[in-house]
Chain A
Amino acid sequence: MKALHIFLGGCALLLAACSNNKSVKLFNTDAALPASPKYNLDGFKVITSFVNKTKATTSTLYGNDAALKSALDGNKSLAAGEVFTLVTWKQQDDEHWFGAKIPSKVQTIEVLKTGATGVFDYSRLEGKELTSSKDTLGQGERIGYILGQKPSVMP
């Protein structure tokens, strides 16, 4: 009888050893977007997404309804109240799929708002702290870059 108990106890231990204790990481916490009054993506749609293999970054361009409508028209005629937001993350390897890269730390969040014809309000937030960039050099180029993005085909 004693031998049987030992045997059963051994079996239970073996089964316990086989159970999967692998820890589960559910969220991509590295890439989390911090809450901030400096930008707002509520109700925004995806205009397009792209990556830069040289810089190892991945970006998603969001827009409010007006911005998306305008982008579909090649941003030929911009109206006031359009908001484009370009979020750029560093890339990281996807631990779930060899061969895939997913977003890592937020690098920049660029917010472009249109005012009266030809008037733009551009702000550039850097890093997880969303530090507002004081550097105005190259703003025109960035505005052109954001407005030059063609929407992704989503039938």
Chain B
Amino acid sequence: MKTDKKPLYQRKAFIIILILLAGFIGIQFVRPDVPNPPVTGDFTAPADVKAIIQRACYDCHSNQTNLRWYDKIAPVYWGVAGHIKDGRAGLNFSEWNKFAPADQKAKLWESINQVLAGAMPLPGYTAVHTEAKLSPADINILKNYLAGMIHSKPADTAAINAADRQYQHWQGKSTSFAKLPVAANGIAYIPDYKNWQPISTTDREDNNTLRVIFGNDVAVKAIKENKIHPWPNGTIFAKVAWAQLQDKDGTTHTGEFKQVEYMIKDDKKYASTAGWGWARFKTPKMVPYGGANVLFANECVSCHKPLANEDFVFTQPIKH
């Protein structure tokens, strides 16, 4: 039987496959470095908790990354290397002692809340590394561990005195500034927040604070008109946090003023930070959080990211 087929090496498809294969082999030599620097101060927790965190988080959030063979094949490898770099920059359990104890606690609550919200470990990662998925039993262990950290007890004299001193100094006056403090991203402290309407309150047992969330006129109008998905440009929230001050009767009052945080909606101006301008001012002196580092807002965005469907807003406003 006569065939008009060309020899294999002359066929188009064959040549294309050869080129692709050569390309695939070629890109294997483009290898970003993923070093495992020494562990300087490892995260500590009870064994069962630590085992879960190690299994689910350590590949990207520690210096003890365990790359499987399939992680090492480009172009997948490039994505993996990027995730590890970003993951370690965001949170590194191998350098846990770099955080002050209060910050360690805050980081842990934030991390586990990211897990509970399903934002972490990244779904793309668990799709391949199925062993990193958390079972309901794992989640319970983590929740119980955190719940065990909650201690509510009557305030001690030091806390009462600190709150009193701050109150005496304040007495209803706004801190006066020659020039309003400004965060690195250009957002200035807005003294008028206290005249806005409260849209909710939060009792944060994880860090012993009480919070009131205020909304400006644009926010309040949007709530009334059911137009908060997304929130309109011009919306501003101010979240104020105070230390909890528990009295002997079990009532917990607002103690020392800790900070005020703002979210300012402008989907164009703040397009690079999820459509919101972020700022936090600490103590009555209104010290801008993040100092001169304009990238501080990335921290805000990554914590709010699980709420992307709710326009990055944690607070569910109360209508009245």
Report A's interface with B, CB cutoff 8 A.
18, 20, 22, 24-29, 31-35, 41, 45-46, 48-55, 58, 60, 69, 72, 91, 94, 96-103, 150-155
Q: Tell me the count of chain B residues lying within 8 A, CB to CB, of chain A.
A: 59
A66 CB, nearest partner CB in chain B, Å: 13
Which of A33, A45, A49, A155 is the one whose CB lies under 8 Å from B174?
A155
- Bound CA–CA A146/B163 (angstroms): 20
Contact A49 B205 (CB under 8 A): no
| A residues in contact with B163, CB < 8 Å | 153
If over half of A's interface residues share one DSSP class (helix, strand or loop), that class is named, otherwise mixed; here it is: loop
Which of B171, B204, B254 is the one whose CB lies under 8 Å from A152?
B254
A82 CB, nearest partner CB in chain B, Å: 15
Contact A98 B171 (CB under 8 A): no
If over half of B's interface residues share one DSSP class (helix, strand or loop), that class is named, otherwise mixed; here it is: mixed
| A residues in contact with B182, CB < 8 Å | none
Contact A103 B318 (CB under 8 A): yes
- Bound CA–CA A142/B200 (angstroms): 24
Which of A46, A48, A53, A98 is the one whose CB lies under 8 Å from B116?
A98
- Bound CA–CA A32/B223 (angstroms): 12
Contact A26 B146 (CB under 8 A): no
- Bound CA–CA A24/B212 (angstroms): 23
Which of A24, A25, A49, A153 is the one whose CB lies under 8 Å from B201?
A49
Contact B309 A20 (CB under 8 A): yes
Of all chain A residues, the one with the shortest Cβ separation from B247 is A50
Contact A98 B320 (CB under 8 A): no
